Chains A and B, each alone.
Chain A
Amino acid sequence: MASQEIEALASALARLPGLGPRSARRAVLWLIKRRESALPQLLAALDTVRQNLVECRTCGNVDTTDPCGICADPRRDARALCVVEDVADLWALDRARLFTGRYHVLGGRLSALEGVRPEDLTIARLLERVQAGGIDEVVLAMNATLEGQTTAHYIAERLEDLPVRVTQLAHGLPVGGELDYMDEGTLAQALRARRPV
């Protein structure tokens, strides 16, 4: 039986997404073995995060400054706004550096069953941003899940009367995908969204 201290650390780590009790104990053991080398680095990194990271009050991104690096970057196109569910989605999109505009993080997706309502997301703040003017296009980059698409529909509906172009990420064939491996739902969607070449 491990000591109370070790159990406490393991149960704290077990709560991390994707870890669970078994992997947490393995991680604890790894850290104990390297408590002189790796542990101080980890502690320092964790402390920096705790002290310096803030949520951007404009877009909801997490950064060391508020407004965040993206919102403050003058080279970014202020007229284009990309709406995502979570910070992880923002990072995924920005890793590719394909989108040159700014972002808006909703902080989740609408779900009646899980009790996530419009007021629990940053939708009101999004409307304020658009109403303030200077934005030509809002790109809805929600997940292709039922909840994600419901959220996208909802936001499109709320933006309807505002002078802004609302677009949505395309759904269909993934790049490099082979037709005969696609499920029918994906194929049907790809066919619906076909376009002239």
Chain B
Amino acid sequence: MPLTRLTLRDFRNHAATRLDGLAMFNVLVGENGAGKTNVLEALSLLAPGRGLRRAQPAEMAARHGDGSFAVAVEMEHGEVVLGTHTQPAAPGRRLVRINGALGPAARLAEWLSLTWLTPAMDRLFAESAGNRRRFLDRLVLARLPGHAQTSARYENALRERNRLLADDREPDPAWLEALESQLAETGAAIAAARADLVADLGAVLETLPEQPFARPSLAYASDTPIDAEALRAALRQGRRRDRAAGRTLTGPHRDDLAVRLAAKDAPAADCSTGEQKAMLIAIVLAHAQLTAGPRPRLLLLDEIAAHLDPLRRAALYERLAASGAQVWMTGTEPAPFAEIAGEAALWHVHDGVVTR
């Protein structure tokens, strides 16, 4: 069992919540605003990053507490304890504790692999490319922890170059050269990691039937040369154009994840809401299959079962059970989870209190 216990203290509307005896399927049921998604959010903090709401640490502390919060999980029946917390004196700074020792958040990725799907992501295919890049990068990060560092260095160099180009004075070519050589090195690595993942996901998706989940075909929509030297040359050539535009127009920060519905060969953005959701689920399931390894995996699926018809729901549960990941789902009523009632732990959430 990946996680055996979850404890929340002063986390959003959970003053003191403990879930003991977790199962492979954990279902949180309760009315709107009861605090179901808050439990998923707490779990999402056990991956490097800002969690599934991208909230600031101070926002996550309970309003009536001392300004701090704590989240902890036990793995292997208490052999491994992962936790994250803030302190009353510094509510904006989230600390990570692994087996009692403070450490960098990036180290969490060595223990757990986490993926989530929330209703906020339903419009992913129709939204701006930035959200799809972030989605793609999180999938890359789940198997390549160093991706975060490379991306940070790239972003940093990009801001420097843009500032230089926006200057009234003619930019110093040697300075641009110095920045571009670093942009090229990190940018090519980012593009390569994303392209690799998209190819691997595509290979898994190929093996799946068209139904019951609308099968997507993926492509990494990129003009970024994967070879660092070529990217460097492209940046050098684009200087005049970029200076006129006021920003850098070449590089992985302009790329996109292109998704099409395989059966109709139509862009995902033009498909029905139900089809878009089904494709998103298919991608997350394929990713879960891809990242299968020694690390326990967690899938957080917020408000997912209610929107599926019984046939697709049954197929979803079947694939989730086969994935080997610990699955966390939420819903406003227990009925859609009847098919897995036997193997799932059902948790009732009411006003920040969870009972089994």
What's the Cα separation between A150 and B146 when bound, in Å? 21
What's the Cα separation between A112 and B161 when bound, in Å? 8
Task: Mark out the residues of chain A between 62 and 91 whose CB falls within 8 Å of any chain B CB in the assembled complex.
Answer: none
Interface, chain B (partner A; CB < 8 A)? 106, 144-146, 149-150, 153, 156-157, 159-161, 163-164, 167, 172, 174-175, 177-179, 181-182
Query: Which residues of B sit under 8 angstroms from A150, Cβ to Cβ?
Result: 157, 160, 175, 178-179, 182
> Is A153 in contact with B178, judged by CB distance below 8 angstroms?
yes
Q: What 7 A-B pairs come out closest when comparing CB atoms?
A: A184-B146, A153-B178, A112-B163, A157-B174, A154-B178, A112-B164, A150-B178
Question: Is A183 part of the binding interface, using a Cβ–Cβ cutoff of 8 Å?
Answer: yes
Question: Is A158 part of the binding interface, using a Cβ–Cβ cutoff of 8 Å?
Answer: yes
Name, among B146, B153, B157, B175, the residue most crowded by chain A CB atoms within 10 Å (CB to CB).
B175
Would you mind naming 14 contact pairs between A and B with Cβ atoms under 8 Å apart?
A110-B175, A110-B178, A111-B160, A112-B164, A113-B159, A118-B175, A146-B156, A149-B178, A150-B182, A153-B179, A153-B182, A154-B174, A154-B178, A183-B146
Question: Could you say which of A110, A117, A157, A185 contacts B149, with CB atoms under 8 Å apart?
Answer: A185
> Is A146 in contact with B160, judged by CB distance below 8 angstroms?
yes
Known contacts A146-B156, A146-B157, A184 near B178 by CB under 8 Å: no
What's the Cα separation between A99 and B37 when bound, in Å? 58
> Is B175 in contact with A184, judged by CB distance below 8 angstroms?
no
Interface SS, A side: helix
Q: Which residue of B lies closest to A146 (CB)?
A: B156
> Is B149 in contact with A184, judged by CB distance below 8 angstroms?
yes
Query: Which residues of A sit under 8 angstroms from B144, Cβ to Cβ?
Result: 184
- Additional 6 contacts, C-beta under 8 A, given A157-B178, A184-B145: A111-B160, A112-B167, A146-B182, A154-B172, A154-B174, A154-B175
Known contacts A112-B163, A113-B163, A146-B157, A183 near B177 by CB under 8 Å: no
Contact pattern, A 182-197, Cβ under 8 Å of B = 1, otherwise 0: 0111001000000000
> Is A112 in contact with B177, judged by CB distance below 8 angstroms?
no
Q: Which residue of A lies closest to B154 (CB)?
A: A146
Question: Is A151 part of the binding interface, using a Cβ–Cβ cutoff of 8 Å?
Answer: yes
Query: Which residues of B sit under 8 angstroms from A183, Cβ to Cβ?
Result: 106, 145-146, 149
> Is B178 in contact with A112, judged by CB distance below 8 angstroms?
no
> Is B150 in contact with A112, judged by CB distance below 8 angstroms?
no
Q: Which residue of B lies closest to A189 (CB)?
A: B185
> Is A157 in contact with B146, judged by CB distance below 8 angstroms?
no
Query: Which residues of B sit under 8 angstroms from A157, Cβ to Cβ?
Result: 174, 177-178
Q: Which residue of A lies closest to B179 (CB)?
A: A150
Query: Which residues of B sit under 8 angstroms from A152, Cβ to Cβ?
Result: 178
What's the Cα separation between A150 and B182 when bound, in Å? 8
Query: Which residues of A sit under 8 angstroms from B159, Cβ to Cβ?
Result: 112-113
Query: Which residues of A sit under 8 angstroms from B145, Cβ to Cβ?
Result: 183-184
What's the Cα separation between A111 and B174 when bound, in Å? 13
What's the Cα separation between A113 and B156 when bound, in Å? 10
> Is B146 in contact with A149, judged by CB distance below 8 angstroms?
no
Query: Which residues of B sit under 8 angstroms from A149, Cβ to Cβ?
Result: 178, 182
> Is B146 in contact with A112, judged by CB distance below 8 angstroms?
no
What's the Cα separation between A149 and B164 when bound, in Å? 16
> Is A118 in contact with B157, judged by CB distance below 8 angstroms?
no
Least Cβ–Cβ distance between B193 and chain A, in angstroms:
10
Known contacts A184-B144, A184-B149, A185-B149, A113 near B160 by CB under 8 Å: yes
Q: Which residue of A lies closest to B153 (CB)?
A: A146
